[in-house]
Each structure stands twice: as structure tokens, then as C-alpha cells.
Structure 1
């Protein structure tokens, strides 16, 4: 597994990470099997969040199952990187957000709950999960400073934020924002589309991303790609989905060309970008995970990347 630097931090971690959002529904044996599968392939970075527990119906549930499974694998804590996220309050009766909450009380209590669930006394990074319109940069910075000085947190990042939102928070922080976690994959490419359609009068030129891709590269912020296998429609995952025949035909062509699977090609497409994007896999199926991780060694050609991009329905003007 190839390792990449995470921001400017002292973290050189696997460029493929495992997200454990769905781990709350697994028993401890299946959870340990998932972890052993990815650990044996060189994955050493794990992403969770305080709200992950939608199957169990309560906060910290996925982190708790993950923490137990990690201990069952016998891996040393210092050999892996654990990242969590906070700042959202969830109504678990319907899975919707009650509010985004960057208050001192919520962030402090959330992080403490995560540490208990994970069975560790620190996380390698913590991300503000969504942009809170009521956030105060100084207040947020004070929380982060306290968490870092206490040893509970080593690094800080954000999720789903544009450049100006990051700049605002960074203006008060003493530490560098290392990560911005954004949805990115073959069927969700606004951070790419906006750049291609600059100075054009079409819908693809309209962007809410604010130039986050070149901004992150300039600021040495690692983009982490979440839900890379999901479509932007109600049809869910695109691999093998009959609603996306052109893309799957191209994925199959590329898989035959490179002697691998469709899952590996979809992973390789994200990893091909020179921004050193870290991809977060969310599957809890060991066989599917193994296929996805195979993408680490696939050597796509430049035209392969463009052919897949166009097959996914994205226009190249």
C-alpha cells in the first residue's frame, strides 16, 4: 500500500482508508474480519464520527464496535491512525440532522464520548463535520487548542467546506487545518467539473466548491474522498447498477484491459489525480473491500481517466 502525507502533519498514512460508518450493525467477529482484511492489505487509516450509529440508533455506536474490533485484531494503537468527526446533532428516529453545533459544550462532550467508545485516550485527527453557520472562529480555535494541549487530539481538519470557510477558521487556529473531507468519485465530480467549465455559460460552470481543489493543493490540505462509489441519484452505488450502463461498460472495458475488477478501476480513478487524494472506503464486505483496495496498484493511463469521466456522464466541452 502506498502511503501519502496527510496535510503538513507528521502522518504518512495509507492513501486508502476505511470508513466505519456502517460498522455498528456488525457483530464483533464480522467487524474484526473487516479490519483484518484491510490491515493485511496495508490500510492503516480509519475514519469515524460521533453520529455514526444509524443502524443501532444512537451516537458513538460504530466507533464502539470499531474500537472493540481493533483491540481484537491485536494491532498496536500507535500503528494506526484514527480520525473522528464532530459538530452534528442527529435525530435517530429519522436520521436527519437536528442542527449543526460547534459550541464548546457539544464539541467537548462529543470528543470525550468518542474516546470512550473507541477505547483510546487520543485521536490522530478530528474534523468539524459540516459548516456551522453559527460558528465563531475564536471559540472553535479555543476548543481545538484545549483538546490538543490535553493530548486528546493531535491534528484538526474539516469536512464539506469551501476555501473561505476554511480560511475563516484558520484565521484563529494556531494549528494547520490538515484535511478537508469531500464527496468525490466517478459519479460525483463537482470539484473537477467547475474547473473544466470556467468561463462558460452552462450549469457545470456554476460551482459551490469555490475552487476547493486547487485551494487545497496550494494550502497543503489533504482531500479525503467520501462515498466514492455512490451516484448523485436515488439509485445508490453505481458499480453493477443497470441504471448506469455506459459507465459500467467502460469500467468493464478498463477492468479487462488492466486485468482487474470494476471496483479496483473505480478506486484507481480517484487515486490517479495528482492532488494525492485519500480515498475512504465504506463497504463492510471483505471481498468487495479487497477488490477496491486492488486499485492501489492499478496503473491507469491518462486517456483511461478521461474515458471513465465521460462515461460517467460528465461533459468535456
Structure 2
């Protein structure tokens, strides 16, 4: 498994991340198998959130109950969780009280003394950066959270947090796939007359900003499109033809090629896998090992429906 440096954290982590939002109804044996196969494939970063599952911290609790990490195993993996979304609404809450309460809940559910990374899940328009900073300071000083980051945040939202937060923001988890790629395609539409649906000013420069500031991008829903999973989806015939051809060339699966498209980017993007099937993790891991050519990367982008000027 290829590893990446998380520059702002001073950490080395696997390029693939095991997302655990869908283990809600899985048995202990199924969760253990998923975890074991991911670890055998080289994955060492585990992604959680306080809202995943049927109730607060449910998937975090299910993971801990099923896997029962020993102290030695806990030191060999990194656990990341997220706070800020209120499902009953929905609404968002970056208040000091909410952050502190939810982190305590995550630690108890996960049966661990610390989180390696805590992300603010979705931007809160009512955020008061000083409250976030206070929570981060106390959590870090107590050894309960080692590193901090954000998810789905724009440049302006990150900059606002940085007016008060002293800890480096080490990651920004964003939705990204070869089909859903506005944070990459918007920049290519600069200085064109046509107004296209690929243009998304709110995401302008986030990739370049994160690269400049050592913030690691994490891609969630790496195989999703507006019409569901795009692999083997008849809504994307050209893309699937291209995926199949390249899969045969590189002796991997289309899932591997879709993963390789993300890992080819020089930003050093981590790919968050939401699957509950160990085989899918292994397919993605095989794809992450290869390096597409520049021509192949652009061919996939065009096949996914993106029109380059």
C-alpha cells in the first residue's frame, strides 16, 4: 500500500482510508473481516463520525465491540472521527459545548483514550472561531485529540477558522470522484465564455489552497455520481468502456482504475472507501499502486462527461 505524508500533522498514513459509516447492521464477524482485510491490504487510517448509524456514535460503538483493539493494535492504526452535524433537522453545531460533548461520546464508543484526527464535519454558518479554538486547545492539551481538520470546507471557511485556531488543520475531506469533480474542473473553465455546470465558485482554488498549506485532501464517495455508483452504470457507457479497457491493460478492476484516477493527482489525495466488502478494499488497493499516464487521466475525465475548453 502506498503511503502519504500528511505534512501539517507530521504523520505518514495509507493512501486509502477505511470509512466505517455503513457497518450499522453488520455482524461482529463481518466487521472484523472488513477490518482485517483492510489492514492486510495496508490501510491504517479508519474514518468515523458521531452521526454514523442508527443513533449517536452507533457505528463507532459497533466497530469497537466487534474488533476489540488491543493496546498494541490501537497504536498501529489511526482513528479519525467527525463532529458538527445534528441529524435531527439537519443543522450544524460548532459550539464549544457540542464539540466537547461529542468527542467524549466518540472516545467512549470507540473504547479509546484519544482520536488521532478530529474533523469538523460540515461548515456551520454560525461558527464562532474562538469557540472552536477553545475546544481544540482543551482537547489537545488533555491528549484526547492529537490533530485537527475539516470536511467539506471552502478556502474562506478554513481561513476564518484559522483566525483563532492555533493547531494546524491537517485534512479537508471533500466529495470527489472522476464523475463528481468540480473542485478540479472549475479551474479549467477559467477565462472561457461558456458558463458550464462544471463551474462552482464556492470550490474555487480549494485544491491549490490545500496544496499550498499542507492540508491533505481526503476524497469521500470516490465512485459516486448523481445517478449512483458509476461503475457498471448504464448512465455512463463511455466511462465504463474506458474503465474496462484500462482495467484490462493494468490487470486490475474498474474499481481499481477509478481509484488510480484519484491517486494519480499530485496533491496526494487520500481515498475514503465506504464499502463494507473486503474484496472492494483489495480492488481499490491494487489500483492505488499503479500510476496512470497523464493522457489516461484526461481520457477518463472526458469519458466521465467533463468538457474541456
TM-score bracket for the superposition, by shorter chain length? over 0.9
What does residue range 123-272 of structure 1 map to in structure 2 within 5 Å?
123-201=115-193, 202-203=195-196, 204-231=198-225, 233=226, 235-272=227-264
Q: Does 1:61 align with 2:58?
A: yes
CA positional deviation for 1:2: 1.3
Displacement after TM superposition at 1:249 (Å): 0.6
3-state SS of 1:33 partner: helix
Q: CA shift at 1:73, angstroms? A: 8.2
Could you say which structure has the greater relative contact order, defined with CA pairs below 8 angstroms and 6 or more residues apart?
2
Unaligned segments of structure 2, at least 5 residues = none
Structure 1 residues 296 and 75: alpha-carbon distance in aligned structure 2, compared to 1, 3 A threshold: farther
What is the rounded CA distance, in whole Å, between the counterparts of 2:191 and 2:51 in structure 1?
A: 40
Q: Tell me how far apart the structure 2 counterparts of residues 145 and 119 of structure 1 sit (CA, whole Å).
A: 22
Pairing 1:89-128 to 2, within 5 Å after superposition = 89-91=86-88, 97-128=89-120
TM-superposed CA distance for 1:72, in Å, is 5.8
Equivalent pair of 1:100/1:130 in contact (CA under 8 Å): yes
1:84 corresponding residue in structure 2: 81
Residues 168 and 246 of structure 1, relative CA distance in 2, 3 Å threshold: same
String of CA shifts for 1:148-177, please: whole Å, max 9, x gaps.
111110010001011111011011111111
Per-residue Cα deviation, 1:195-215 (whole angstroms, up to 9, x for no partner): 111112322344220310100
Distance 1:69 1:39 in 2: 15
Partners in 2 of 1:74 and 1:167 — Cα distance? 37
CA RMSD of aligned residues (A): 1.3
- Is the contact between residue 162 and residue 212 of structure 1 (CA under 8 Å) also seen in structure 2? yes
Aligned residues: 307
Distance 1:162 1:72 in 2: 35
Q: Which runs of 5+ in 1 are unaligned?
A: 92-96
CA distance in 2, matches of 1:135, 1:239: 38
SS, match of residue 173 in structure 2: strand
Q: What does 1:19-30 correspond to in 2, within 5 Å? A: 19-30=19-30
Contact 1:100 1:132 in 2 (8 A): yes
Aligned match for 1:293, one of 277, 282, 285: 285
Contact 1:32–1:73 (Cα < 8 Å) also in 2: no
Q: CA deviation at 1:281?
A: 0.5
Q: Output the CA distance in 2 between the equivalents of 1:160 and 1:87.
A: 12
1:277 corresponding residue in structure 2: 269
TM-score, normalising length from structure 1?
0.94
Which residue of structure 2 lines up, in the alignment, with residue 17 of structure 1?
17
Q: Distance in 2 between matches of 1:283 and 1:169?
A: 32
Per the normalisation by structure 2, the TM-score is: 0.96
- Please list the CA deviations of residues 86-141 of structure 1 after superposition, one character each: whole Å capped at 9, or x if unmatched: 011113xxxxx421011112111111111111110100010110110000011110
Residue 39 of structure 2 corresponds to 39
Instruction: Tell me how far 1:70 sits from its aligned partner.
Output: 3.2
CA contact (8 A) 2:182 2:199 kept: no
